[in-house]
């Protein structure tokens, strides 16, 4: 019976330890791609926009292609066989005057008509002078980036310019949208901490009880005369 009590005590202690360990588990979330209320800047039918940013802001940059970008000449890229490709540069100038340059590749099947919208095929960095830390968006298998943006490294005005479009397009992007993404950390299992401590206490009590030696009653004898 005492062996059973010992086993129960140890299992109870283990359960309590698991509960207390789980109480510190963190849950990370964000409002990516950010809500309209978090817009740092927004402009329509323009090649550029500026935004006042603070070091530590997490930046998400998105542009919508111009109305006639799906028409006209396209290039052929060996990396994306069968695609008609349009190259678009995004130049980000930080408050120091240094630049980070993204190269975006947009495309559609070579056999597609002018009504087919272009899709993003690739986003990469061709120059990085430290104004933005893009590591959060890094996509290791393809050595590219999910999005244009990252963590702002300096206080001040950042200027964003859409340029180096090849083959050339006369009409500007339909819109440029810069948003700040907010990250939050929650600890949803903190309630397990007091419960886990209590469970450990119960398990320790059972274990101690099971290890106590049972006192044997003394046998009284009659004295012979």
- 27-30 vs 132-133, strand pairing mode: unpaired
Q: What would the pLDDT profile of 139-184 be if each residue is shown by its tens digit?
A: 888 889 988 999 999 999 999 999 889 999 999 999 999 988 876 5
Which residues, 6 or more positions from 61, have their beta carbon under 8 angstroms from its beta carbon?
90, 92, 147, 148, 149, 160, 176, 177, 178
Model confidence at 128: pLDDT above 90: yes
Model confidence at 46: pLDDT above 80: yes
Task: Label residue 50 by pLDDT band (50, 70, 90).
Answer: very high
Domain coordinates in residue numbering, the chain: 2-24+188-211, 27-186
DSSP 29-88: EE-TT--GGGEEEEEES-SEEEEEE-TTPEEEEEEE--TTTTSS--EE-TTSTTEEEEEE
Q: What would the pLDDT profile of 75-89 be if each residue is shown by its tens digit?
A: 999 999 999 999 999
Only one residue has tokens 């978090």, namely: 38
| Its pTM surpasses 0.75 | no
Cis bond upstream, residue 35 (ω within 30): no
Only one residue has tokens 């949208």, namely: 177
Percent of the chain predicted with pLDDT > 70: 70
């Amino acid at each position: 019976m005492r062996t059973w009590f010992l086993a129960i005590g140890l299992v109870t202690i283990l359960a309590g330890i698991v509960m207390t360990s789980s109480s510190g588990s963190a849950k990370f979330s964000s409002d990516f791609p950010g809500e309209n209320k978090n817009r740092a800047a927004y402009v329509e039918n323009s090649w550029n926009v500026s935004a006042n940013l603070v070091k530590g802001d997490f930046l998400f940059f998105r542009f919508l292609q111009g109305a006639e970008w799906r028409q006209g000449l396209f290039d052929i890229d060996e990396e994306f066989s069968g695609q008609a490709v349009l190259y678009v540069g995004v130049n980000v100038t930080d408050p120091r005057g240094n630049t980070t340059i993204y190269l975006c590749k947009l495309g559609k099947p070579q056999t597609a008509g002018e009504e087919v919208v272009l899709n993003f095929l690739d986003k990469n960095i061709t120059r990085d002078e430290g104004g933005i830390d893009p590591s959060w968006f890094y996509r290791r298998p393809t050595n590219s980036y999910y999005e244009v943006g990252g963590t702002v490294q300096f206080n001040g005005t950042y200027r964003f310019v859409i340029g180096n479009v090849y083959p050339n397009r006369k009409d500007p992007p339909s819109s440029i949208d810069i948003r700040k993404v907010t990250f939050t950390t929650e600890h949803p299992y903190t309630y397990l901490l007091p419960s886990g401590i209590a469970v450990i206490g119960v398990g320790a009590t059972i274990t101690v009880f099971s290890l106590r030696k049972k006192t044997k009653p003394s046998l009284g004898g009659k004295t012979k005369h």
